[in-house]
Amino acid sequence: MIEILCALQDKEHTNLIFDLAEVSSIYCCESVAIWKANKMRLSYTEIFKYSDILNPISQTTLFSAGKLARLEPKKIVLDLGSGKGFPSLMWASIFGVRVEGFDMNKKYVGYANSRAKTLNLSHRVRFSAEDIRELRFNRKYDVVASLGLGVAQIYGDISNALEIFKTMLHKDGILVLAEPVWLVKPISSEVLKALGEAEDSFLTMSEMQQLMREAGLQALGHFVSSKEDWELYVRPVFIAMHEIIESESELAEQAQRIMSGFKAEYDAVGQYWDMVLWVLKAS
Ligand SMILES: C[S@@+](CC[C@H](N)C(=O)[O-])C[C@H]1O[C@@H](n2cnc3c(N)ncnc32)[C@H](O)[C@@H]1O
């Protein structure tokens, strides 16, 4: 899933969108190839230029999840992979919670903090640029949010991620977890290719719920993103990519590929995968 890998954009030699091998075959000097590839790379900041939330999760779902999680002013939320900060800022403004958000994308963090300032929420919400795998906390949180992180890639597998999240929570703390799930298995190689995913990136709904039970996490409820939620998510990306294509920039072909990737994600909804947000209580 393209957006789950947002963090990789900051890594110098990682390029998910532009095929370095292609470039190397054109330019004999590798350093020139890397320079050229980086220069020509469409960043996630450009892809999500017009997006505030980087997930197909609606405001209604965030609100309902916040109520189920019993968010209230004295509670502190840890937002892992906070992106541009939309979910946290919404919870801080509606429920009065305090939030510590972390994301490895410095531009997103800068944007999120400036938005907190615009919304007069800087005293309650703070975003920092960090790789969450390297964070060590000396306190526990009331709520941990992991919205569209792709936890299997980050923590090795989903069980391990659930165990790590539990260590960050108070007893009876709440985990708000959103991840895609496969609707059928096995997934054909064509579908995996179109989505740019490996089958082991995600589990099925029942596999997820089994792991949650094994981790001692009690599901208080879950929300499946609708096709319209996905439309809200892909439309701003299409607008941004269309602008690049219309400007006849040298990035046009890349922009077209990105649109095809998002279209494949959208087409797969309800057929091969869904985005599910769980509200889970640690015991
Ligand atoms: C799909 S986006 C979701 C952003 C936000 N939660 C939202 O719902 O709008 C995933 C975010 O996780 C961040 N991320 C991925 N891996 C990370 C890591 N190891 N450390 C910190 N942030 C990471 C990415 O930079 C990206 O902003």
Write the single-letter amino acid at 108.
Y
CATH at residue 107? 3.40.50.150
Domain coverage including residue 106? 59-227+272-282
For the chain, how many structural domains are there in total? 1
Write the single-letter amino acid at 69.
A
The token pair that represents 22 in the structure block: 């292609």
pLDDT tens string 214-246? 999 999 999 999 999 999 999 999 999 999 999
Q: Is residue 188 part of a domain?
A: yes
Q: Is residue 175 part of a domain?
A: yes
Question: Ligand 1 pocket test: which of 3, 48, 54, 80 has the largest number of ligand atoms within 8 Å of its C-beta?
Answer: 54
Q: Is residue 145 part of a domain?
A: yes
Q: Is residue 182 part of a domain?
A: yes
User: Given a cut of 90, is residue 52 above it in pLDDT?
Assistant: yes
Ligand 1 pocket, residues with Cβ under 6 angstroms: 3-4, 6-7, 53-55, 81-83, 86-87, 102-105, 108, 131-133, 147-149, 154
Q: Is residue 158 part of a domain?
A: yes
Ligand 1 center from residue 128 Cα (angstroms): 12
pLDDT tens string 127-181? 999 999 999 999 999 999 999 999 999 999 999 999 999 999 999 999 999 999 9
Q: Is residue 34 part of a domain?
A: no
Ligand 1, atom 20, residue with closest C-alpha: 131
Question: Stretch 108-137: mean pLDDT, rounded?
Answer: 97
Ligand 1 center from residue 237 Cα (angstroms): 17
Q: What is the pLDDT of residue 29?
A: 37
Q: Is residue 38 part of a domain?
A: no
Q: What is the pLDDT of residue 39?
A: 54
Mean pLDDT of the chain: 88
The token pair that represents 20 in the structure block: 């370095």
Ligand 1, atom 24, residue with closest C-alpha: 7
Q: How would residue 46 be classed by pLDDT, with cut points 50, 70 and 90?
A: very high
pLDDT tens string 247-261? 988 999 999 999 999
Q: Is residue 45 part of a domain?
A: no
What's this model's pTM, rounded to 2 decimal places? 0.88
pLDDT tens string 175-211? 999 999 999 899 999 999 999 999 988 999 999 999 9
